[in-house]
Structure 1
């Protein structure tokens, strides 16, 4: 299949069929894999896990929850200050999650979405050979200081959550043909942490802290399952959540993550700011990702797209294009323009097949 453009994951249409029909019609053969749009509550990325998984867990105490509106409970945070916070209850050394394979919802949704994918492919609406992309937030992007502020709690929760993700993977691999699957690890907190070492959280700014679970989980994937990465500067509360001076630390993390997998990686996605200066892109020359296709998140602010494209190509001559993140927090009515921006980006980059 094509590999010139990547859809990071979330697409704000109502159904999986809407997502796959619209995205395949717009970008079809250019895509290596097609996502299900992370429809419904997955549009909120990791925020849904607070009320679906953590709130009410026997071993966790809810410290803070979003403010009520007109006396009605709110499940979804409305700002960076209006969030869920949790801590481990006294005496609990390891938090574990029951109903393995289904507790987090990724496997259940993947199996349901795969039926739509397979049906549309049989009808010729998805090209043969294209994979179904399943995007899953990495462990430390879920179990992070932003949600679990007591530093000692991270080590009590992360192993159990990794175990739960592993069970979801096993359920996916058991239900869907491997040659049809592409797993994408989403890493946002990992990027933020290595750029902005959090005070009071020992080791949290170290790359090795974040590549260890990547390595363990990636090694569970059979060789015939495709693997990709999405690295992110964050979008909750507005994009970017933080704006680094350059891509240096991101490149270091990408290189280490790919190495940690111990296997072939099919793609890595790296975001880009509204910058066209050489200093921002220069670290791309140090990328060491084997045969992985690199996608740069240049599809935004399209008036300056050619300048950013030219600056990046000075240091990485060959790459595909993508947006800086998924579109789950974008109004659905903006999607036609966004898909057209993707087609325009392919044309401007000379990447049309």
Structure 2
């Protein structure tokens, strides 16, 4: 069977865990050792942990790429001035395109960092520390997620989305040139897009296509060039600034709808999709929309919460299993805003839940 004939179900049959990206350790080597050694045989891919100043997801784009850009003016930044980490959305980085300028972005860092991290991954795999079957995972924000937080002016936002679309296509091509396709997982971080569909984004593009149709178009634009040997998925994220969602989903209906749209419009198979599960939801009403998830992407449900451990994870698993059986598990979002000492326990907890319910 050729790679193009392998269905997402076949490709994902051994995957029980999704690591959505960030891990609060001190180096890429530490992350790959811990996560690859602990979960590499069951994970969709092993990320580099988004360590250091990448731990707050796209915030590092604000101060590494956008702040000081000659075509941009910084109109708000976290306080005090030496700080780059916002404490909330009233303390966020905001930018404006300077009069007469058209925004262009050069190196935005994702491909360069992925190349460095893949070298570490390859060395640890060769040393037998990471299982030979493990893939290297690169998480990239879809363009609206990369740009929209920072540009409240709608016309400037359109420019920023266009600039990030071009830049991310270039970064993706570089990753595909660097990492062997049969060892690569690409995850699109999809946060602004789902919040916009949920009418929970701080601002949106007025007029034109509605958010769900923009998402449909962007799936086609960003994913169709990814070769079939690469695993592809979408992390549908409700935010994690201050360990709080920008909106708690009422149920999985919007996530299921966006998963179906991604599967229809990506121009190639979608292998997985990640969906958030709040800790206090183990009721039928929350999981019932899973019955409407079309064949294709394997869902990974964010039902792992450290505060209620194995008992809570199993409770949420059993609720989800009433409506869908072929799913994997994850935390609700990346681990990067947790303390480092929680990492070994989180890895163990994923194993415990899988052993308790997946067999």
Secondary structure of the residue aligned to 2:241 is coil
Gaps of 5+ in 2: 1-11
Greater than 3 Å deviation, 4+ residue runs: 197-201
Give the 5 Å matches for 1:164-313.
164-196=167-199, 201-202=205-206, 206-274=211-279, 275-290=281-296, 292-300=297-305, 301-302=308-309, 303-313=311-321
Q: Deviations over 1:322-350 (max 9, x none)?
A: 1111101111011122112111211222x
Task: Establish whether residue 159 from structure 1 lines up as the match of residue 162 from structure 2.
Answer: yes
Q: 1:197 to 1:340 in 2, by over 3 A?
A: closer
Contact 2:301–2:327 (CA under 8 A) maintained in structure 1 = yes
Q: How far apart in 1 are the matches of 2:331 and 2:132?
A: 25
Alpha-carbon distance in structure 1 between the residues aligned to 2:204 and 2:113: 37
Check conservation: 2:151, 2:160, Cα contact below 8 A.
no
Aligned to 2:344, what secondary structure does the other structure show?
helix
Which residue of the other structure, out of 81, 84, 89, is the alignment partner of 1:80? 89
On the 8 A contact 1:248/1:283 being kept in 2, the answer is yes
Query: What is the distance in 2 between the residues matched to 1:182 and 1:106?
Result: 14
**In the alignment, which residue of structure 1 is the partner of 2:6?**
none
In structure 2, distance between residues paired with 1:259 and 1:96: 31
Report Cα offsets for 1:30-73 as digits up to 9, x if no partner.
123211111121111001101111111122111111111xxx61
Report SS of the residue matched to 1:97.
coil
Q: Alignment RMSD, CA only?
A: 1.7
Q: Secondary structure at the match of 1:77?
A: coil
Q: What aligned pairs does 1:90-169 form with structure 2 within 5 A after superposition?
A: 90-92=99-101, 94-98=102-106, 103-144=107-148, 146-169=149-172
CA distance in 1, matches of 2:46, 2:204: 40
Tell me the number of residue pairs that the alignment of Structure 1 and Structure 2 aligns. 341
CA contact (8 A) 1:3 1:293 kept: no
Query: Contact 2:250–2:286 (CA<8 Å) still a contact in 1?
Result: yes
Kindly indicate whether the alpha-carbon contact (under 8 Å) linking 2:304 and 2:330 is maintained by their aligned counterparts in 1.
yes
Work out whether residues 195 and 205 of structure 1, in 8 Å CA contact, stay in contact via their aligned partners in 2: no
Asked if the contact 2:200–2:247 (Cα under 8 Å) also holds between the matched residues in 1, the reply is no
Structure-2 residue corresponding to 1:11: 23
Greater displacement, 336-345 / 299-308? 299-308
Distance in 1 of aligned mates of 2:129 and 2:219 = 34
Unaligned runs of 5+ in 1: none
CA offset at residue 273 of structure 1? 1.2
Residue 345 of structure 1: aligned partner: 353
The yes-or-no answer on 1:54 pairing with 2:54 is: no
Distance 1:131-1:112 versus aligned 2 partners, 3 A rule: same
Query: In structure 2, what is the equivalent of residue 336 of structure 1?
Result: 344
